[in-house]
Each structure stands twice: as C-alpha cells, then as structure tokens.
Amino acid sequence: MAEENDIFDLIIIGSGPGGYYSALRAAQYGAKVALVEKQNLGGTCSNWGCIPTKALYASAKMLEDMKEKAELAGVKCEGNIVADFSAAANRKNEVVKALVDGIAGLLKTRKIPLYWGTGKVEGGSIDSSFDVSVTGKDGNKVHIKGKRVIIATGSTPALIPAFNIDHKKILTSDDILHPDFKSLPKSMIIIGGGVIGCEFANIFARFGVKITILEYLDTILATEEQPIIRELKKKFESIGIDIFTSQNVLKVEATEAGVKATTVPATTPKDMIDATEKTIYEAEMCLVSIGRAKVSQNLGLEQLGVKIEKGQILINQDTCETNKKGVYAIGDVTGVFMLAHVASHQGDIAVANALASIGGFNVKPRFANYNIIPYTIFTSPNIGSVGLREKAAKDKRGAINVGRFFYASLGKAKCMGEEDGFMMVIADASTDEILGATCIGAEAPELISEITVAMHHEITAHELGEVVHSHPTISEMVLETVEDVHGMAIHKVGRRK
C-alpha cells in the first residue's frame, strides 16, 4: 500500500473489465495507479456476467452435442445421458476463480495496490489533486490522493418493485450465477427476451428446464435482423422453449408451488389495464432479465459537480471525460454501449487522455471509436454482428449489395455437423465499403471479428474476398459471403439475393 502522503497519477474506482484493464494499461505507461473495489475483483463480467455464463454455455453445448450430434459422428452413447447442473456450476466457479486469480496476479506483477471498500470522491480538482476515501466493510476509512480519477463502477440488475424479487424464487442474473446456485427448477419463466434472457433460456433448456420467455416487444432480440431472429426462434421452439411476445408483465408473485406472472397485451392502454383480461403464467422459478441500473450513486460525484442523468454519468464520448476536468467515466455507468469490450476500449481512451493531460508519459490523447462495435450472443446457434443492419444501411446509403452464404454449403460445417445458420455482409453499392455484417451459426462471434478488422481498416468486400482462407475452415464463411456481395460465391447455387 502507498504511504498516506503519496499522490497517485490515477485512481480507478471499480475493477471490472473497464477498471482493471485501465489500471494495467496505465501501469504499462509507467503511471502510479491505485485500484478501488468494494466487492469482487473483476466486476460483473468476471463474476456474474460474461465469463460464468459462457462457462455454463460450454457445458450446455457439450450436452447438446452429445444428445444431437454424437451419433452423426459415429459415437454411440449407451444408456441415458445425465445432465448434472451441480457439476457444471462447480466448473463455472472454478473458471471464475482461475480468471479472477489471474487478474490479481497481473495487478501484483504491475505493483498496483488494490484498496478494498467503497470509493468516494470527497473533493479536489485538476489543478491540485483529488481526494478519494475508501470505506471498508468494517467501517474503517482510508484516504488516497490522485491527479486524475476514472469511475468504472458498472451496473447492477434493475430491481422492479412489481416483480417482487426475493432472490429465492424470483431471481436476477446475479442470483442465477451466484457460486451457491447449483440446483435447477423443473420450469422457469424468463422475463425479457433480450441477450441475457435468451442466453439463459438456451442454457437451462439444454439442462432440461421447461422455459417460458415473456417479452414486452413484438419480438425477441429486437435489434437483430429478422432472418436471424427467425432462425433462433426455430431452434428455440425445437428444444421446447415457449416464447410469448407483446406481453406486459404487471406483476410476479411467489406462490407455494413456485411463481406466478400476470400479463396483459403490451398494446393495452394504461387506463384499460384493470378492465383487461389477464393471462397467468406459472413455473417453479422466475428469472428477471429486463435491464441493468448504472451504479453512480454515493460516489461523491454530485457534490463534485459531475453531471448525472437518470443514473448515467454523462461524458464526452470522444474522450470519456466528464464535465468535471480530470474525472473520467467508462463502461456501463456511462450508458454508452453496455458491453465489456466497450468498457475496455473506453479504458484505453480515458487512460491515454488522463496521462497525456498530466504530462511526462509516452502517450498521446486519443478518441473513442464507437462506429465499429461487434456484438455477440451465445445462444445455440451463436449470433454475431457488427456495423449497420440491412434496413439502416439502405436508409443511410441508398443502394447496397448484400452477400449471403449458408453453413449447409460449407465443407467444414458439414464435417462438424453444424449446418444450421447463415452469414450476411452488407456493402455500399458504389464504394464496396463494408457497412455491416451479421451471422448466426457455429463460431459466429469469431467470424464477426474478421469483418470488424476489415471494417476498421476500410478493407472493401472485394479486397477481403482476395484474402486466402485456409481450407477446410469455418472462416471460409467470411470468404464465401463477401464473394457473394458481388454474386461470385463459388459454392452457392443461384443468384445473389
């Protein structure tokens, strides 16, 4: 730990994918950094989000492959295949621990002190330094000073009073991913058909849970292309997932047998709700996955004059600096693309700009780039996307070309038994600039990464089609799809549509 009179170059409050990343990056530049964390090192992503869900997804995918594809591969599974969720949960916990221990090791190697407790900016300015207090669980308080501050406090599951979340039968995603959650119900209602809801629906259905999704909008995954949604719905329905869209969930109640959700059609006017016939859905358990609340309170920011709107810390999105000079914010708490990899990107930007403003470091000011952000959804099949959707591309650019290619026509996909899904790439008809891409199928998130790199470096569809791709690989999906932008896909029968 630092001496009381020491002044850090940078104090970072929050150790999630934005916070710990920022601390390590700043240390690489030679800065003296302090990291503050009130709960778990690694934040939501490592402990209750990205990592544990993907560990459970891997177990669910293995179960899916054994049940549906083993025989295709000439592997005979004698007797019943038993799904042991408790064992899968234990493995998930081990994965989380290993990664969190890895983060701790990196911080130690970089000599970054970790202050455990609730951080609060007590005062200060860019002209002197900022005073940050850290109050531990025992109530003891320490004060540290820093030339610049980065707020990376993230978000937490939104708690809606009408849903009566009791953390026993009516749960949040944090509850579902708690290390002690090791027993699944026979049935579950999932409120919210967004990314979180669909990922959990896929996992638990594979483990034999009867899933019912209740979604307020008229479709699940509302931001995705309609063909992608249709493909996923077809798969979900094939494994027994019931999807009810346009449902306004009025309340959720715990009952002796489990839970009960009461709904009316989402189109029902508010003054007609009482008189409208209700629909009741029942299950043993309910997962509420309809949004996250930014953690921006009790950080001393209001007293400092930092602008906060609806819980969201307002920043200059280019520089990640707040209206209070010397105070930066990154990640979910800013409300700008609530994705772990965006938090890390913003961390890069905030660190560069903070240290450049201090001077004496080999770093220049940087601007964030939100134009080419990849999205990934780990359902089965996987979904990946980047850039503009087809309608948005037409509205923005006018004439476009769209290439499409299907996994069923790819040799490696056939070998793997992964023939469901397709990829589409959208390009400007005049310039051939790649405007966006989306994919549903095996390794879709990995394939989208290649398109993301191409878009970042302004590689055209034709130029990407000239790149030699190893055969046989799933990466040939990219090759065939960009070739189809110009109607030149080798393994596609018929004209480009």
pLDDT at residue number 451:
98
**105 burial class (0-12, 13-18, 19+ CB within 10 angstroms)?**
exposed
Residue 304 region, left (φ>0) first, then alpha (ψ -120 to 50), else beta?
alpha
Residues across the chain: 497
In the predicted model, residues of the chain with pLDDT beneath 50 are 1, 3
**75 burial class (0-12, 13-18, 19+ CB within 10 angstroms)?**
exposed
For each of the domains in the chain, give its residue range(s) and CATH number, in order of start: 7-47+92-156+293-358 (3.50.50.60), 161-290 (3.50.50.60), 381-484 (3.30.390.30)
* Gap between the Cα atoms of 80 and 136, Å rounded: 50
pLDDT tens for each residue of 98-134: 999 999 999 999 999 999 999 999 999 999 999 999 9
* Gap between the Cα atoms of 261 and 279, Å rounded: 8
31: tokens are 């800065």
Pairing of the two strands 285-288 and 187-191? parallel
Side by side, the strands of the sheet bearing 400-406 are 375-377, 383-387, 434-440, 422-428, 400-406
* Gap between the Cα atoms of 121 and 125, Å rounded: 11
- CA-CA-CA-CA torsion sign (463, 466, 470, 474): positive
Side-chain-side CA neighbours of 295 within 13 Å: the count stands at 21
pLDDT at residue number 496:
53
Element (H, E) at 11: strand 7-13
pLDDT tens for each residue of 150-159: 999 999 999 9
pLDDT tens for each residue of 274-314: 999 999 999 999 999 998 999 999 999 999 999 999 999 99
* Catalytic residue, candidates 167, 456, 457, 471: 471
Place of tokens 């055209």: 460
pLDDT at residue number 47:
95
Pairing of the two strands 422-428 and 259-265? unpaired
* Gap between the Cα atoms of 81 and 462, Å rounded: 47
> Cβ of 78: how many Cβ atoms within 10 Å?
5
| Residue pair 449/385 in contact by the 8 Å Cβ criterion | no
pLDDT at residue number 494:
67
| Residue pair 130/149 in contact by the 8 Å Cβ criterion | yes
471 as an active site residue: the answer is yes
Distances, alpha carbon 354 to alpha carbons 10, 154, 281, 358, 483, in Å: 8, 20, 52, 6, 44
